[in-house]
């Protein structure tokens, strides 16, 4: 398929819609990974204003006839990829969902997937369909997802506790109504009486804001959890500052500078995002590979990286087969 096929922007109503073709997606994701590694355009896990213009310039250079613009084309496409990546991450954090790195798709029972999609519509269209950019998007968005999920989990915890306390309170009221209309065995009456005395003893001398002590507990715990959520937010900020300090320390580390130089060299040799990630993993595990890379003449470096990645793939295969 030639670049122009399928790359037609719809005019008139819905003019912002655009059908992307694989070669365009490939170049967009490759450029996104490169920009995400560039401190001029990304710091503290967030992209800086104008980074989509850099992506637009890259696509204009690689695909001059595509006429892809930052707004709305690139922004819309990145929203789509981030939404689908987030949906995959959400599924993979649940039991029964796994990732097939060979087929680049989610693995699970179809019934389980359909049930999940009822409450998570963003996951639709991912069953039995390859998502080839998962590794690259993980490199770009994994930190954002982790922070977002942590905040969401705390909010959900507060909400779930509130719902549970309301449900328990409603059940207590129903039990009270049943005991007034139905003759209860003596043992149950004694148990209820003992429980009632225990509750009165626990709350004796305490000032309550309502006639229902359980409701007061609910309000108190809810408030404590909200304070805890704010505290966790401050802790996250402190952790970000600490990470920033560690990053500055790494910048002064000769080994870190060598790693960055090696990764830039791999990118210069025009390897794709996933291969850059795998090469970086090898460099961390076997630092001598970086020294050997730069010891070779430039014309032999690409072949050296290809052999290194092949050996790494064989090593992982042997590890899986054990």
**Encoded tokens for 98:** 């796994």
**Residue among 288, 285, 271, 275 nearest 319 (CA):** 285
Q: For 6, which DSSP code?
A: T
Residue 292 three-state SS: helix
278, 267 Cβ separation under 8 angstroms? no
Question: Residue 270's pLDDT band (boundaries 50, 70, 90)?
Answer: confident
Same domain, 122 and 170: no
Please indicate, yes or no, whether the overall pTM of this predicted structure exceeds 0.85.
no
| Judgement on whether residues 301 and 240 belong to the same structural domain of the protein | no
How many distinct structural domains can be found in the chain?
Answer: 3
Distance of CA 93 to the CA centre of its chain: 10
> Both 174 and 122 in a single domain?
no
% helix / strand / coil in the chain, to the nearest 5?
70, 5, 25
With beta carbons less than 8 A apart as the criterion, state whether 265 and 252 touch: no
Q: How far apart are CA 216 and CA 199, in angstroms?
A: 13
Same domain, yes or no: 214 and 269: no
Which secondary structure element, helix H or strand E, spans residue 106, and what is its range?
strand 105-107
Candidate from 23-32, 194-203, 204-213, 238-247 with smallest mean pLDDT = 194-203
Residue at 162 is within a domain: yes
- Residue where a domain terminates, one of 97, 132, 167: 132
**Mean pLDDT along residues 66-78:** 92
Winning range, highest mean pLDDT, from 88-97, 279-288, 307-316: 88-97
Q: Specify if 265 maps to a domain.
A: yes
Instruction: State pLDDT tens for residues 151-177.
Output: 444 445 555 555 555 555 555 544 444
Answer whether 131's CB lies under 8 Å from 88's CB.
yes
Q: Are residues 233 and 302 in the same domain?
A: no
86 in a structural domain: yes
In-domain check, residue 243: yes
Residue 261 lies in a domain: yes
Six-digit token string for 71: 């707004």
Boundary-marking domain end, from 235, 251, 267: 251
Q: Quick one: which H or E segment has residue 194?
A: helix 186-203
Q: Which pLDDT band holds residue 147 (cuts at 50, 70, 90)?
A: very low
Burial 27-36 (b: 16+ CB within 10 A, else e): bbbbbbbbbb
Domain match, 222 and 278 both: no
Same domain as 247, residue 216:
yes
Shared domain for 34 and 125, answered yes or no, is yes
Given a cut of 90, whether residue 28 has pLDDT beyond it is: yes
Residues 276 and 226 in one domain: no
- 128/27 same-domain check: yes
Quick check: is 50 in a domain?
Answer: yes
pLDDT exceeds cutoff 50 at 114 = yes
Same domain, residue pair 310 and 289:
yes
Structural domain boundaries enclosing 218: 144-179+207-251
Whether residue 197 lies inside any domain: the answer is no
Least confident segment among 51-55, 81-85, 93-97, 139-143: 139-143
Same structural domain, 64 and 160: no
In a domain, 111, yes or no: yes
Strand partners, 127: 106
Average pLDDT of the chain is: 76
């Amino acid at each position: 398929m030639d670049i122009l096929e399928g790359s037609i922007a719809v005019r008139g109503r819905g003019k912002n819609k655009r059908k992307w073709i694989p070669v365009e997606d490939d170049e967009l994701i490759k450029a996104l990974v490169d920009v995400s590694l560039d401190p001029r355009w990304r710091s503290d896990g967030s992209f800086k204003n104008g980074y989509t213009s850099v992506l637009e310039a890259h696509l204009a250079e690689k695909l001059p006839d595509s006429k892809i613009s930052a707004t709305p084309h690139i922004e819309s496409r990145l929203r789509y990829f981030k939404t689908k990546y987030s949906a995959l991450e959400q599924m993979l954090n649940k039991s029964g969902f796994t990732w097939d790195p060979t087929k680049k798709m989610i693995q699970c029972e179809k019934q389980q997937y359909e049930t999940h999609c009822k409450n998570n519509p963003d996951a639709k269209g991912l069953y039995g369909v390859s998502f080839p950019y998962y590794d690259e998007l993980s490199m770009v968005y994994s930190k954002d997802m982790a922070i977002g999920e942590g905040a969401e989990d705390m909010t959900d915890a507060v909400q779930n506790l509130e719902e549970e306390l309301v449900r328990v309170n409603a059940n207590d009221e129903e039990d009270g109504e049943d005991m007034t209309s139905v003759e209860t065995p003596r043992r149950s009456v004694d148990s209820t009486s003992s429980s009632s005395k225990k509750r009165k003893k626990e709350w004796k001398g305490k000032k309550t804001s309502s006639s229902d002590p359980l409701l007061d507990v609910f309000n108190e715990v809810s408030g404590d959890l909200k304070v805890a959520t704010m505290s966790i937010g401050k802790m996250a900020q402190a952790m970000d500052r600490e990470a920033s300090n560690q990053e500055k320390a790494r910048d002064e580390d000769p080994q870190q500078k060598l790693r960055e130089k090696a990764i830039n060299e791999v990118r210069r040799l025009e390897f794709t995002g996933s291969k850059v990630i795998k090469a970086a993993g090898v460099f961390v595990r076997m630092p001598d590979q970086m020294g050997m890379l730069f010891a070779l003449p430039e014309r032999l470096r690409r072949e050296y990286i290809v052999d290194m990645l092949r050996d790494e793939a064989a090593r992982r295969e042997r590890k899986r087969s054990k």
